[in-house]
Amino acid sequence: WRTNRPDLEGIPLSYAGRLDPMASGKLLVLIGEECKHQADYHGLDKEYEFSVLFGIASDTHDVLGRLQTSTNEIAIEEHQVADVAKSFIGSFTFPYPLFSAKTVKGKPLHMWTLEGRLDEIEIPTRTSEIFELEVTDFETKPRQEVAALALQKVNSIPKVTDPRKALGADFRRTDVRADWQDVAMDFSLPAKYTIAHFRCVASSGAYMRTLATIIARELGTTGLAFHIQRTKIGTYNSDTKTWKLEY
């Protein structure tokens, strides 16, 4: 920013509505005096495109977590996924992901998780509105390809060197990489995995990676968010299905 926009040198910058490490897409950047109004942007609606990988779970609900696998073959049909998606339309109460920045007793929830002290707190929840949720694509991929794509995603973010974040050990990526390499090499696991792609319009506070795991659970299996992209930010009118976009 400072290199490409010298006109912003010395001007305060902030953002509203952070993205998870494994998410991409729209992010509101506030400039100058607008930084003082950051809270005004926190309640905006958002549209996402995200994918659910069925049959593998992680403690972060996405590919950047420690994995739990099963040798069971998972048989899921597209119409089943579509029916489950329809059932989520409306008001929904989500637990915050254990690896999130939600503050509990003055400390981010992910710190409580990493310190192994979750038994000392109550996991907070957030009620959001899901306006639209639809399946946009449905596919299967070989296990080795799934693992290779996941490793690309895991390696796509810069290394964390801030000593204040030492407990996270660079998102535990040494162990996470080893988990995905084990998936690629473990021939006792299913040869192929199903991935369903979704478009979701939701109010503020809806975590797509949490939604991914709940969708999988409703289908009788495990799952994680394989891909998340935020495509719109603004105010959504569910009656007219139109947006007043901020960005």
Hey, which residues are catalytic here? Answer: 20
Backbone φ and ψ of 33, nearest 5°? -60, -25
Which one-letter DSSP state was computed for residue 157? Answer: S
Beta strands per DSSP E along the chain:
13-16, 23-25, 28-31, 45-54, 56-58, 67-69, 90-95, 103-104, 107-108, 125-142, 192-202, 223-237, 242-245
d(C-alpha 54, C-alpha 75), whole Å: 10
Beta bridge partners of 48: 200, 230
Backbone φ and ψ of 212, nearest 5°? -60, -45
Cα(first)–Cα(last) distance of the chain, in Å? 18
Residues 163, 217 contacting (CB under 8 angstroms) = no
Q: Which of 226, 236, 244, 231 is nearest to 202 (CA)?
A: 236
Task: Find where tokens 């998780």 sit.
Answer: 113
